[in-house]
Structure 1
Amino acid sequence: MNQRVLSERARRVIPGGVNSGQRSVPGLTDLVIAHAEGARIRDADGREYVDYHAAFGPPLLGHNDPDVAEAVAAAGRSLDLAGVGVTQGEIELAETLAELVPGIEKSLLTSTGSEATFHALRVARAATGRRLVVKFQGCYHGWHDSVSLNVISAPDRVGARDPISTGILPEVLEATLVLPFNSAEAVRRAFAEHGADIAAAIVEPVPHNVGCLLPEPEFLRTLREECTKAGSVLVFDEVITGFRHALGGWQQISGVTPDLTTLGKAIANGYPVGALGGRADLMDLFSSRPGGPAFFAGTYNGHPAVVAAALATVRKLRAEPVHEHVFALGARIREGLTAIFDGLGVPAVVAGYGSVFVAYFMTGPARTYTDLLRNDAEMFIGYRRRLLGHGVFELPLNLKRSHVSYAHTGADVDHLLEAAEQAARAQLAQGGPVDVAAASTMGGAR
């Protein structure tokens, strides 16, 4: 059955035909994925793409990694969901997180990153008795109300509260302070004025939901210092950076240790798991410990299948040269794209870290969200749509990052760079028509 028929069936019974808001991409509304393996995905009409979107980043090892799949199958032969007590796998995974991630002494599992960030802010308020939360423009922390604002904002909404959804109570939004990313001075001002009422500051140490803005060392250090002085809880949302950039997350790279850390995505190579970990005194406030005042529950938390996937993923990350491989390919891509766009006279900033890359079509610098307002959204989206014709899939939504996996090869990178030059030339020569409605798409993905 072809894609058009299947997508029409989907829209009759699923709102919009997809189960997450950013899976419906303008111009690709009939896309039905039929197969995913290694570095490739194939649609229901048989077209195959080298996949750099990678489901917003989870499959660091590649789609359907055989070692992870076998671990999940093995777990299923002896366990399913009992919903009482704990399994040996859950214990081993918590021990592993405590060993690898500097800021984690104890941890709890969730099914999504959004749940992990929700519980992080809940326990921060429980611990401090305070009301306010600090977040940063361009950072996405999930779908829950207190952080559902100021991700990809229109120019006239930067500096104001900019919710990504209707249906949020104004008083909830009013309890969130939004600051510019990479501004140590803004952090100091906010804590000077509101520090006694700030329960937590939450940050993507690298705001990957707007591509890749690398944090300046002073910014993260200042955030740590101000939270410590005020008695506020510092939360690193490492749902994207955790395990993809280093086994110990960005906190290992930066040397800045948060009080709480959220993880997800690459931790289990695409299986639905999130984690919240941190200081033992904070984690012991959850009701998983009898008498803990901060309620914590979830029927599927610690499901044996996802725990097995996470343990297998981490074993492979520790045993094989995964990071060396993806970092080398990522560097080749960034260097190659920079040379291509320079050669074509296209203003571009090719940003990224390790296995992540993104080409902003603008002049530099790219250090804050406001800088990204200069990005040529029509060029960004049009270029990526043209890549599809060369069998390369980078999500054609404005500002979205791309990823390399362990399954990608040097030949895949050669193909990407050849396709990139042809796609850029074609976009420059022909321009539109390109539907840039996606340029105003708000939100992220968990």
Structure 2
Amino acid sequence: MKPRSVPSGTTLAERARRVIPGGVNSGQRSIPGLTELVIARAAGARFWDTDGREYTDYHAAFGPPLLGHNDPDVNAAVTEAGRRLDLCGVAVTDGEVQLAETLAELVPSIEQVLLTSTGSEATFHALRVARAATGRRLVVKFQGCYHGWHDAVSLNVISAPDRVGVQDPISTGILPEVLDATLVLRFNDAPAVRAAFAEHGEQIAAVIVEPVPHNVGCLLPDPEFLQALRDECTRAGSVLVFDEVITGFRHDLGGWQRISGVTPDLTTLGKALGNGYPIGALGGRADLMDLFSTRPGAPAFFAGTYNGHPAVVAAALATLGKLRTEPVHEHVYRLGARIRAGLTEVFADLGVSAVVTGHGSVFVSYFMDGPVPRTYDDLLRNDAGMFIGYRRRMPEHGVFELPLNLKRNHVSYAHTDADVDHLLEATRSAVRDTLAAGGVTELAGTATMGGAVGNG
């Protein structure tokens, strides 16, 4: 049935729900308790809603605007590109060549690269070409890692305790035989990786991993774990894929692979690459990339109408240029360290058991006793009610952190020390108010380990 005419006095959020399923265009944007939030504008470290309320933004759209919202230099580059060129859909542009050369220069694993519009597309094509190269069926992923919406990896992200260790798809409508071709292992468990390769090595086409599983906040990898992935893939002839859609450029211009010294065969990129413009990339060894049908006669089909769109290419070139010439990482690393230390002090003052962790510009507070979590199993100790409950109260203090379980926070180049001071005081007040309310029973049904999944 078509929606009837909109009654007078209907809010924008209500109008959205009439014509958009759930009122939002991605599954993680509909927030219980914040269903009337409609964004009007964004700039720097802030956004404003249609009621004029201002929020200092630490959610940051799951991480893309490393430079801050609406960065003027990035926007200027996009505007200039639009004066000269739009989508022609044939051959290649000078910007695409420049961006590919830049990515190959910066990221250790990249010899050749193809552009996509999203990170999910990049991971999809990574697994497709790995199967094309090896002729094998199985893919290995890890509990708590999110690699996009496509079927082969749509399982075991934020799982309820009784779903850890068994298949836990994030959606219905997936063929069981597709899920059966994916092995799910425990992150940071090198012996489990060796055992899986001992049993299935000749059938494993690829191992895909977030080198830092930021979709569950922040699990820092043990160096020997990433090296074990490299060693086992090399030994078995499997393809090692680093999903650096989040870690790439946010933590280092060379991605986590440069930090760790472990080089994968393929790398997927996105998010901070374009500072919020819709771009992804897949790059890696030339012999693998040459299997894509962008080279005539190659067997792995690759296409996308908007791949390499001049506007997003210009955004990426401007973003990378700024990351290379200005102290962006120095600034966000300093503020991130200050936030983590400050939050640790706030929780200690309030007598709240919490572990504050993260890396560089990413921070997250788990409400549990130490030590710092290493695996998803460790995160089952997190008090999801407290995690969500205090974040529900942060907008009252003009601060936005996504109130979904295990979701990380981000610092941008536009954040200041004054913003950090505000964040710490807002957190103190929000946590104190949550404790004073006698718990978070009003969150029953939403404060679970199986709630939010990936990015959106």
What's the TM-score bracket when you normalise by the shorter of the two chains?
over 0.9
Question: Do the aligned partners of residues 164 and 2 (structure 1) sit closer, same or farther apart at CA in structure 2, a change above 3 Å counting?
Answer: farther
Residues 1:432 and 2:451 are matched in the alignment: no
Deviations 1:151-174 (A, max 9, x none): 000000000010000000000000
**SS of corresponding position for 2:31:** coil
- C-alpha distance in 1 between matches for 2:411 and 2:52: 23
- C-alpha distance in 2 between matches for 1:117 and 1:193: 25
Which one of 397, 401, 404 corresponds to residue 394 of structure 1? Answer: 401
- Give the aligned residue type for 2:236: A
1:21: how far off? 0.2
Deviations 1:309-357 (A, max 9, x none): 0000000000000000000000000000001111211110101000000
**SS of corresponding position for 1:49:** strand
- C-alpha distance in 2 between matches for 1:216 and 1:383: 31
Which one of 28, 32, 36 corresponds to residue 38 of structure 2? Answer: 32
1:364: how far off? 2.0
What's the counterpart of residue 28 of structure 2? 22
**SS of corresponding position for 2:352:** coil
What's the counterpart of residue 207 of structure 2? 201
- C-alpha distance in 1 between matches for 2:38 and 2:396: 16
- C-alpha distance in 2 between matches for 1:118 and 1:234: 14
Moved more, 385-394 or 253-262: 385-394
Structure 1: runs of 5 or more not aligned: none
What's the counterpart of residue 453 of structure 2? 443
What's the counterpart of residue 352 of structure 1? 358
Residues 1:380 and 2:390 are matched in the alignment: no
**SS of corresponding position for 1:357:** strand
**SS of corresponding position for 1:21:** coil
- C-alpha distance in 1 between matches for 2:37 and 2:421: 26
What's the counterpart of residue 71 of structure 1? 77
- C-alpha distance in 2 between matches for 1:4 and 1:438: 30
Which aligned runs of 4 or more in structure 1 are off by greater than 3 angstroms?
1-4
- Give the aligned residue type for 1:94: A
**SS of corresponding position for 1:23:** coil
Confirm or deny: 8 A CA contact 1:362 1:376 kept in the other structure.
yes
- C-alpha distance in 2 between matches for 1:16 and 1:119: 30
Deviations 1:44-77 (A, max 9, x none): 1111100000000000000000000000000000
Deviations 1:391-446 (A, max 9, x none): 00000000000000000000000000011111111111112343251533242015
- Give the aligned residue type for 2:122: A
- Give the aligned residue type for 2:207: A
- C-alpha distance in 1 between matches for 2:316 and 2:69: 14
Q: How does 1:158-177 map to 2 (within 5 A)?
A: 158-177=164-183
Q: How does 1:123-142 map to 2 (within 5 A)?
A: 123-142=129-148
- Give the aligned residue type for 2:69: H
Confirm or deny: 8 A CA contact 1:101 1:247 kept in the other structure.
yes
- C-alpha distance in 1 between matches for 2:220 and 2:46: 28
- C-alpha distance in 1 between matches for 2:440 and 2:176: 39
Residues 1:263 and 2:273 are matched in the alignment: no
- Give the aligned residue type for 1:434: E
- Give the aligned residue type for 1:411: A
Q: CA RMSD in A?
A: 1.3
Confirm or deny: 8 A CA contact 2:57 2:400 kept in the other structure.
yes
Confirm or deny: 8 A CA contact 1:378 1:434 kept in the other structure.
no
Structure 2: runs of 5 or more not aligned: 1-6
- C-alpha distance in 2 between matches for 1:438 and 1:296: 40
Which one of 399, 413, 428 corresponds to residue 421 of structure 1? Answer: 428
**SS of corresponding position for 2:115:** strand
**SS of corresponding position for 1:77:** helix
- C-alpha distance in 2 between matches for 1:438 and 1:25: 12
Question: Do the aligned partners of residues 85 and 438 (structure 1) sit closer, same or farther apart at CA in structure 2, a change above 3 Å counting?
Answer: farther
Query: What percent identity do the matched residue pairs reach?
Result: 79
- Give the aligned residue type for 1:126: A
- Give the aligned residue type for 2:321: R
